Structure 1
Amino acid sequence: MLFSLALIFLCGMGLGSLFQKLKLPALLGMLLTGILLGPSVLNLLDGSILAVSADLRRIALIIILTRAGLNLDLADLKKVGRPAVLLCFVPASFEILGALVLAPRLLGLSLTEAAVLGAVIAAVSPAVVVPKMLKLMDEGYGTRQSIPQMILAGASVDDVFVIVLFTSFTGLAAGEGVAALDFAKIPTSIVLGVAGGVACGWVLAELFRRVHMRDSAKVVLLLSTSFLLVTLEDALPGPVSFSGLLAVMAMGIALQYRRGQVAARLSQKYAKLWVAAELLLFVLVGAAVDVGAAAETGLAAVGLIFGALCFRMVGVLVCTLGTRLTGRERLFCMLAYTPKATVQAAIGSVPLAMGLACGQTVLAVAVLAILITAPLGSVAIESTYRRLLQKE
């Protein structure tokens, strides 16, 4: 495992730096590193690290979502209001609708199989979007209209909505039917996740106020609490659902609200942790890519992905109607809400493992969605935010 970790960090940093010099996002170099080192090409990564890949990717997500919460001011979030709520589910719903329209025609899937495929590709990637929005907030772009904050909030809940729908659609495709309780998980996941995270944030804020400790010790406490919250998500059975990642972000927001100066210092610590976590996340996402499966689907799958993205961008436009955003700012929101990576890597292989007839096709499209939208979305954000957004 140690040799594999060394390869991940050294090759990931090397290719990431090379792509940055070519004016491309480092993320693309990290994904390419994972593909080259993974089972599909050179197969240089130890099986033990691939076995814990999902857990390592989840830790990386915890780190970036905690940092997002520590930087998200409640006053800014209140200013956004309705559009942030709509971004949680409207764009994903539009993209699933796009898959229902296009997948039967392009890939020959049934409507149920198209719904499964749509749920896999509909989730936005917080791992790509969150660091970019934090950068915008640091530089002051779009902050007057709270655009980065709006996208941060929407992207964190979007995944909860999509994963619940994915569970329902796969059950339907497997002949198990869909229970009303499955859809009840969406509001309970959000409400319980936010409530649990806020409660933990308030307790930690009070602890930090009463007990003097180094910031490094506070980071350890915060990380440990985050791990417990995410573990709780897996432990709760039945209709009582809990979003651990949403709780992690809510905990950071609550801590920022109660202890702003402490949150600012902890955010800087988390920024240093993200240097290593980012490499792990995107290299291991790349390692999960099955290049052969992606090549089999051909141009039809590429057309489906871009067509579904058009539906998604219309959904984002609908969310911003009636706001004070300019046309340029709305265009930026549409572009910023396109990258996909982590959720697709996590659930793309589930239909195949379940033995569904559409499993291989779903996996191939999920892989292509990562390869196409993660770098393109990242490039779109980096190359347009200075022109489309106002600097504070």
Structure 2
Amino acid sequence: MAVEQFIISLCLILLLGKLLASLFEKLGLPAVVGEITAGLLLGPTVLNWISPDPTLAVLAELGVILLLFAIGCETSIKHLALAGRPAVAIACVGIVAPFIVVALSSVLWLTDSVFTAIYLGCALTATSIGISLRVLASAGQSQTPVGHTILGAAVIDDVAGVILLSLLFNFASQGQFDAISALWLMAKLLLFLAIAPPLARGLLYLARGLKPLADKAGYEVIITLSLICLFAWLAHLFGAPALLGGFAVGLALSRQFVSPVNRYLVNPFKFTHSMERSSQSLVQVFGPIFFVYVGIRLDLSQLDLSAAGVLLLLWLSVLAIASKLVSGWFAGKAWQAKAVAGSAMVPRGEVGLVFAELGLQTGIIDTKLFTELVVIIAITTLVGPILLKWSLTQLHRHPMLPAGDKKS
């Protein structure tokens, strides 16, 4: 993409994304729905002013990483750990149910290849952490018991998705399953999640000690962005999604960070709070780029728009949504908590798009299946926040105690 084209594309993405986000918020809908709609308008589907481009894709990926950083800053590791058993149950059902339902449906109606059907099933096991937790944060629910359960389930879902993706590519390239490679990948992912936050915390102490006394040139925001990029790169090196690197740095900045060495070190709250505050503008600028880019990636002209083709896409979308909603059953006794957790797992977002893109690049799926898969991902990404917004309203009308199943 030429420089002048990139500049005007970025201008349109930021302006129209903000305009429609504000409009949708006034209508009582999540801002992310407005931003995705902005992408649909700008992309090949409607105006065709902006086409998918690697440079824009990199900016969108950076937006997701920064969104996860912001979420990590407000996350308590202790509360996340306490969410353990329900989070694991939600994640497991949210992976197994879509895989079985979508894979079987794909064999019946979409493709003759069993391996391709398995790949489509795996692609729709994904959950977008960024989309749902942004809606939760805007509703003030990201730090509630249900919010921590959802975050834990989404992280598990993401890690499992990376493992599934790696296993499928390993099988596609070698023609056989390599158990040793699979176990090694799992070990690396778990190791990263264990060591990244404490390591980032240690680097924060170092950065605070090295700060020049008279510095007024944005030292904190430079250090923050540098750490986010470093740990996103390390996450990729470990075979994990880069966005988990941003989340790890956010956890390290969190005022609720806990570790065995905390008692021996003075809490650098003033410095970390300054880092968090100075980086908010980065999140507010780059975060919406991802959601607009989701809409840009769609080109509905490649779809089978016959009655049978449209009905098939809608049916598969319903299956993709329903198979995630059932995972919320383990979020508590009250139906409002179940609805919130299930709705939060519905959007596939950036993780599903990674599956789709890599599947196309490696020849596992063709252009037609890619378009159909992206449309299903987009529908879940649009419907998920709407369902979550509605279920949060129900939860607000019936507020619950920390146990999650009693009315206050």
- Range of TM-score over shorter length: 0.7 to 0.9
Cα deviations by residue, 1:13-72 (Å, 9 ceiling, x for unpaired): 22223333333333222222222222444332377xx22122111111111111111101
List aligned pairs for 1:271-290, cutoff 5 A. 271-290=280-299
State the Cα RMSD in Å: 2.8
In structure 2, the residue matched to 1:375 is: 382
Distance in 1 between the 2:372 and 2:277 partners? 37
Q: More displaced, 294-303 or 205-214?
A: 205-214
- Alignment of 1:231 onto 2:233: yes
- Alignment of 1:217 onto 2:219: yes
Contact kept, 8 Å, 1:54 with 1:346, in 2: the verdict is: no
Contact kept, 8 Å, 2:126 with 2:348, in 1: the verdict is: yes
In structure 1, the residue matched to 2:319 is: 307
Could you tell me which runs of 5 or more consecutive residues in structure 2 were left unpaired when the two chains were aligned. Answer: 1-5, 258-266, 402-408
- Alignment of 1:12 onto 2:17: yes
Contact kept, 8 Å, 1:193 with 1:243, in 2: the verdict is: no
In structure 2, the residue matched to 1:196 is: 196
What displacement does 1:262 show? Answer: 4.6
Q: More displaced, 99-108 or 210-219?
A: 210-219
Contact kept, 8 Å, 1:133 with 1:148, in 2: the verdict is: yes
In structure 1, the residue matched to 2:168 is: 169
1:116 to 112, 115, 119: 119
In structure 2, the residue matched to 1:78 is: 81
Distance in 2 between the 1:131 and 1:264 partners? 20
C-alpha spacing 1:259/1:274, structure 2 compared with 1 (3 Å): same
Distance in 1 between the 2:67 and 2:360 partners? 30
Contact kept, 8 Å, 1:40 with 1:291, in 2: the verdict is: yes
Q: Name the amino acid aligned to 1:92.
A: I
Aligned length: 377
List aligned pairs for 1:126-141, cutoff 5 A. 126-136=129-139, 139=140, 141=141
Secondary structure (helix, strand or coil) at the match of 2:115 reads helix
Choose 1 or 2 for highest CA Rg.
Answer: 2
Cα deviations by residue, 1:171-217 (Å, 9 ceiling, x for unpaired): 43566222113422134213224312321123214533674666942
- Alignment of 1:250 onto 2:231: no
Report the TM-score when normalising by structure 1. 0.85
Could you tell me which runs of 5 or more consecutive residues in structure 1 were left unpaired when the two chains were aligned. Answer: none
List aligned pairs for 1:21-32, cutoff 5 A. 21-32=26-37
Report the TM-score when normalising by structure 2. 0.82
Q: Name the amino acid aligned to 1:365.
A: E
Cα deviations by residue, 1:286-312 (Å, 9 ceiling, x for unpaired): 111122234555221321222133223
Secondary structure (helix, strand or coil) at the match of 1:349 reads helix
Runs of 4+ in 1 over 6 A off after TM superposition: none
Distance in 2 between the 1:142 and 1:193 partners? 20
Contact kept, 8 Å, 1:142 with 1:391, in 2: the verdict is: no
Q: More displaced, 64-73 or 221-230?
A: 221-230
Q: Percent identity?
A: 23
Q: Name the amino acid aligned to 2:39.
A: G
What displacement does 1:92 show? Answer: 1.7
Q: Name the amino acid aligned to 1:254.
A: A
